[in-house]
Amino acid sequence: MPSLDILGDDLKVTLTSGEIVRFAHLDYAASAPCVRAAADAVQDLLPRYGSVHRGTGVRSRGSTLAYELARDVVAEFVGARPGDAVIFTRNTTDALNLLARALPAGTTTVQFEGEHHANLLPWPNPLRLPLPSSVEDAVASLRRALESLDGPAVLTVTGASNVTGEVWPVRELAEVARAHGVRVIVDAAQLAPHAPVSLDDLGADYLAFSGHKLYAPFGAGVLAGRSDWLDAAGPYLAGGGASAVVGDRPGDLTWATGPARHEGGTPNLVGAVALAAVCEALTAADRTALHEHEQSLLAGLRDGLAGLPGVTEVSVFGPDHPRVGIVSLALDGHDPAVVARRLDTEHGIGVRAGQFCAHPLVRRLTGDDRTAACTAGVPGLLRVSFGLGSTAEETSRLAAGLRAVLRT
């Protein structure tokens, strides 16, 4: 079975005190560490890789096969249906921008203000709904919005918040969208690393996610879903691969159909193979056991943080709402950026401070409406995130380190 062991799990760092400790990486939501399955797949590929779809030699033929097999593995991972396309992109942002360009003209994009910028900024004709206070509020808000709209629309929503870790009620929202003939797009960047994702189970027409959140190296992402809009739209990147026939005159050309239409240029074979290897390993893993371990870490972290003065966990739907391994903290009287640096240098713990490319959401959660860049002294939160390979010792260290930093 492909290994989900974390590479670099034994990384050591020297603290300002001179002590050498094992680094505790608790910033998975930004980029998860690479797992052995991805590294093994890449190592096997490198001695024999070549151009994809561009040659008859053994290297090119083998690489083309590896690339298309990777597509098949990802299709299985997301539960792709007959007629669905799986397109390799650079990351979630790239995937959602691609889809935004493929929407039929005049489509209104309905979104909540709790979205990451990748799912907030690319869309034409956005209708931004206020942050809901409950699942029922989210459903009712969407229903009112769709009932008031004229013309085509789509709903785009996160699967799990990169700020609070809360799992959004995608299925409930999708049922409302379906009743109004509206397609559903899911940003699964934070959901896919923590839970199985299925287009049908979510009620989604499209899913997007990133390799670097899913324990693979940087540079590969996925857009999966219904192919009709994608085949009707112009190529995302015009060039070789996206073109089927190019005539002698400008504009005299025929674009490719299928995924090739939006994968112009030489594709990222190594990234696709690495990402598929992780998808295969996760598909074979006991996801229930992984979920239970993660929830145990989450409960232990919350217990360790309980009672710390001026430390408040933020949420949209309340503390009991289902969530993945992400916790963000408001620190009364402390700059999160300074606290994060001290956790690193004094305790060997890596976390994230700031607004996490979700500025409107963080402003609502902190109650601070100032707009400023994510630098020291501006509104922000401290985020702790974990996943495969994370341990109770690491979350306990975080709680103890935070306690020490806040009292000095």
Burial class (CB in 10 A: 0-12, 13-18, 19+), 367: exposed
pLDDT at 52: 94
pLDDT grade, residue 378 (50/70/90)?
A: low
Give the pLDDT mean for 175-199: 98
Over residues 291-295, mean pLDDT:
97
Angle among Cα 214, 218, 223 to the nearest 5 degrees reads: 65
Mean pLDDT of 62-72: 97
pLDDT of 233 higher than 90: yes
Q: What is the mean pLDDT of residues 66-77?
A: 98
Q: Is the pLDDT of residue 373 over 70?
A: no
Contact status, residue 129 vs residue 107, Cβ threshold 8 Å: no
pLDDT digits over 101-137, tens only? 999 999 999 999 999 999 999 999 999 999 999 999 9
DSSP class of residue 6?
A: B
CA distances from 31 to 5, 25, 260 (A): 16, 10, 28
Poorest-pLDDT segment among 21-25, 180-184, 264-268, 375-379:
375-379
Q: Binning pLDDT at 50, 70 and 90, where does residue 367 land?
A: confident
For 4-32, the pLDDT digits (tens) are: 999 999 999 999 999 999 999 999 999 99
Catalytic residues, which ones?
357
pLDDT confidence of residue 370: 60
**pLDDT confidence of residue 408:** 82
Residue 363 above 60 pLDDT? Answer: yes
Q: Which residue has the higher pLDDT, 408 or 140?
A: 140
Q: Express as a percent the part of the chain with pLDDT over 90.
A: 92
Average pLDDT value for the chain = 95
pTM comes to: 0.95
User: What is the average per-residue pLDDT within 33-49?
Assistant: 96
Q: Rounded to the nearest 5 degrees, what angle is found at the Cα of 226, between the Cα atoms of 224 and 227?
A: 95
Per-residue pLDDT reduced to its tens digit, 150-171: 999 999 999 999 999 999 999 9
* Mean predicted confidence (pLDDT) in 370-390: 77
Structural contact between residues 111 and 157, judged by C-beta atoms closer than 8 angstroms: yes
Burial of residue 148 (CB within 10 Å: 0-12, 13-18, 19+) is exposed
| Residue 407 DSSP label | T
